[in-house]
Amino acid sequence: MACGGMAILAACGQQWEVDYSQAIDPNISRQWRVASVDVVVPETLSVSTVDSLAPEADIVWWGEPDGDRRVQVAEIVEAGVARGASGLRGGVPVNLIVILEQFHGTSPRAQRIAPSAVHNIRYTIRVFDNRNGQELTAPIHIDAPLEAYVGGQLAALQAQGGSEKARIVAHIAAVTAGWLGVGEDARREFSQLGR
């Protein structure tokens, strides 16, 4: 059975891309400062708490104790986007509205036996002027997959007091800063087994 699961996972090996459909011109974004970050998790997104190798769901998250996974992943994305946008110190207050599309992390089973894995994170961001509600950008689609730690790599991370949650927040922050032009361009490609 384990071999069958590994075959399924191997079939899911692919090329991943951290990408945003449109980077913000730094000459524009430097005029902004963030008034709020709001993350919307649509009710249509499916949630799985099944400990299988590659659960079929939009939201898969095991990096925190049992609880409302929708709330947990919303808080992770909000923390990452807010941190990534913290370099904006202009005079125009803006609201960042984030619509989550997918937050597919790794299950305990995948962490134990998979040779590699991916946190597959996708969302759309819209920027609004906080003063009058005017939309300042078209909706921007962001793909933010991240190589997951599994096996010994995950154990070493945890032994040092680190966590996948902290890695994901830092990754979303770097992607956000790159998209806004206040950090290095985070767009890249990588090959990895994962869903």
Q: Say how many C-beta atoms besides its own lie within 10 A of residue 52's C-beta.
A: 14
- Averages of pLDDT over runs of 10 residues in the chain (195 residues) are 42 81 93 98 96 93 95 98 97 98 95 93 98 96 96 93 96 98 94 79
- Closest by alpha carbon to 2, among 109, 104, 96, 93? 109
Q: What burial class does residue 93 get, using C-beta atoms within 10 Å of its C-beta: 0-12 exposed, 13-18 middle, 19+ buried?
A: middle
Number of domains within the chain: 1
DSSP 33: E
CATH number at residue 96: 3.40.50
Residue pair 109/124 in contact (Cβ under 8 Å)? The answer is no
Following DSSP, what letter does each residue of 40-71 receive, concatenated?
E--TTS-EE----SS--SSEE--SSSSS-HHH
Can you give the pTM of this predicted structure? Answer: 0.91
H or E segment and range at residue 84: helix 69-84
Q: Is the dihedral of CA 130, 77, 58, 141 positive or negative?
A: positive
Q: Which domain holds residue 50?
A: 2-192
pLDDT of residue 13: 60
| Alpha carbons 103 and 121: distance in angstroms, whole number | 5
